[in-house]
A and B are shown apart, each in its own frame.
Chain A
Amino acid sequence: MEYLSIVFQEVYKILFLLVPVLVSVAMIVWLDRRVWAFVQKRQGPNVVGPFGLLQSLADALKYIFKEIIIPSSSNKVIFILAPIVTMTLALIAWAVIPFSATQVLADINVGILYLFAVSSLGVYGIIMGGWASNSKYPFLGAIRSAAQMVSYEVSIGVIIINVLLCVGSLNLNDIVIAQQNMWFVIPLFPMFVIFFISALAETNRPPFDLPEAEAELVAGYQTEYSGMMYAMFWLGEYANILLMCAMGAILFLGGWMSPIDVYPFTLVPGAIWLILKILLLFILFALVKAIVPRYRYDQLMRLGWKVFLPLSLIWVVLTASYLFYFNLLPVN
């Protein structure tokens, strides 16, 4: 009985986390389209509800009532698993995101490694979807995205090492608290820029949306998907984008910490600050989508391996030397 009550408490906590995340994913889709439209001097979705806020709900309703078509020559089990994997992986990562010093679902020792692991598993949803469709365009899209995501993960990993050198802990709350005096975006600014661009590539956002480049590959790995399964890919993708924004906010922008450590600002709960920072990063994501043309594939690979990886490695050496020379290495 006691065990059951613990389980129910946990389920309650998980629902309290996941329902807002899902709702905000729907809102963020609307925000993305709105920002995109404003940059191009259009109105964007503004019909359904006030300011078009309910547009995503209307879209979701439309997807739910559409027929799910499963191609007859596809590998059915993997075809159905692929969107589920994408969605699940995008949602389970939120378990370790700290919303304040105490408000975190699972305060694990290796939080940042967990985040990194989950975001690196995200490639499977795309590969599975692309391969199981048994069709040319999805397969090409899947192959492209596999190469792309693996490449940019490497530089994200090295950037995380940079931050960890300054923190001395893998726990996400420790990372946030280590930024009490100065956000890491100031001393590690080049790493923040590289992280931001790598996050764009990792989540297949424009200008790196080659896995679904509509001019060449129809819709990439999603070509054969329809109805709710397509919507799940879509939701998972946006949940991943939010997650990368949260990761950026925690690693570089001080997480749930208020920007100025004075009285009226510290009253605002940490969750609000974190959400504001995530929103700031997301608006940057949306602006990039609107103003930058798509990369060519060889340029993308060159950028990942020949520019970002050496740069971030050199920065690791620099950070380590600096911390060592000035005796600033964090010691517990």
Chain B
Amino acid sequence: MIAHAIFFYTFSIIAVVSAIMVTASKNTVHSVFFLILDFISISCLFIMIGAEFLGMIMLIVYVGAVAVLFLFVVMMLNVAQQKNQWFAGEQSSRHIPVGLIISTLIFFEIIIVIGGWKYKPEIFDINNSIAQISISNTHSLGQILYTDYIHVFQISGMILLVAMVGAIVLTFRQRSGVKRQSYIKQISRERAEGVEVLEVQSNKGVKIDD
């Protein structure tokens, strides 16, 4: 039990400190690395409470894909300098009220959830709705998602698909005058159309590039 507590506090301290460092570090790339550390320690916490499926999905989706794209964008755009201005410039005071409002909202939401958990435990009693403890975490998750919540699950999938298509459509632009590589054309090229053998007369040369 003591070992459990030690691991719990280690992971949560790392999670909190790295979350603070995401906003506090001056280099944007460092921020993303701290974000990754945060994700990893949170997925460790998930695994510790027995939600191993969520923890692994967190690792695969957030650390393995989302954070890689973050890192990609941050490195490509070289936004390291902009972040300093964001903190030190006059602009920063304008963003404080908005940030405060959002963080108070999130705070109250958490209070509501925790309050409900504390005073109405039967709402959150997992053992009533979900099947027995004997089956594994992944099985019970699947049994709920694909039976009771199938429509919600499908709709959220559709929304994600629409969002993806929308993002592609918004950023897609057809540029003219770009030389495109067509692999079919490249593979199906024959010797006859690629090479031409000419009789070259002395002191005359041949005209190419017509």
Contact = CB atoms under 8 A, between A and B. Distances in A.
Contacts of A121: 59, 63-64
A139 B65 CA distance: 19
Interface residues of A, number: 29
Contact of B52 (A110, A123, A143): A110
Interface stretch (A48-56, A111-119, A204-212, A225-233): A111-119
Contact of A110 (B56, B63, B135, B181): B56
Interface in B100-141: 135-139
A109 B57 contact: no
Interface string A62-82: 000000000000000010000
Contact of B56 (A114, A147, A150): A114
Given A116-B60, A131-B29, A143-B76, A124 B52 contact: no
Contacts of B76: 143
Interface in A83-131: 108-110, 113-114, 116-117, 120-121, 123-124, 127-128, 131
B75 interface: yes
A298 B52 contact: no
B206 to A, nearest CB: 31
Contacts of A116: 56, 60
A109 B137 contact: yes
A78 B30 CA distance: 9
B181 A123 contact: no
A142 B71 CA distance: 11
B interface bracket (residues with beta carbon within 8 Å of A): 20 to 34
A120 B56 contact: no
B72 interface: yes
A299 B183 CA distance: 8
A13 interface: no
A219 interface: no
Given A113-B57, A117-B56, A146 B137 contact: no
Interface SS of chain B: helix
B72 A146 contact: yes
Nearest to A116: B60
A109 B60 contact: no
B139 A332 contact: yes
Contact of A143 (B64, B75, B183): B75
A109 B136 contact: yes
B138 A109 contact: yes
Given A110-B52, A299-B183, A302-B183, A120 B64 contact: yes
Contacts of B139: 332
B71 A108 contact: no
A63 B71 CA distance: 31
A332 B57 CA distance: 22
Interface string B36-72: 1000000000000000110011011001110011011
A242 interface: no
Contacts of A127: 68, 71, 75
B137 to A, nearest CB: 7
A298 B181 contact: yes
A124 B136 CA distance: 31
Given A113-B60, A114-B56, A150 B68 contact: yes
Contacts of B165: none
Given A127-B75, A142-B75, 10 more contacts: A113-B60, A117-B60, A120-B59, A121-B64, A124-B36, A139-B75, A146-B68, A157-B60, A170-B138, A299-B183
Interface of B: 3, 29, 33, 36, 52-53, 56-57, 59-60, 63-65, 68-69, 71-72, 75-76, 135-139, 181, 183
16 contacts: A3-B3, A109-B53, A110-B56, A113-B53, A113-B60, A114-B56, A117-B63, A121-B59, A121-B63, A123-B64, A127-B71, A143-B75, A143-B76, A146-B68, A146-B72, A150-B69
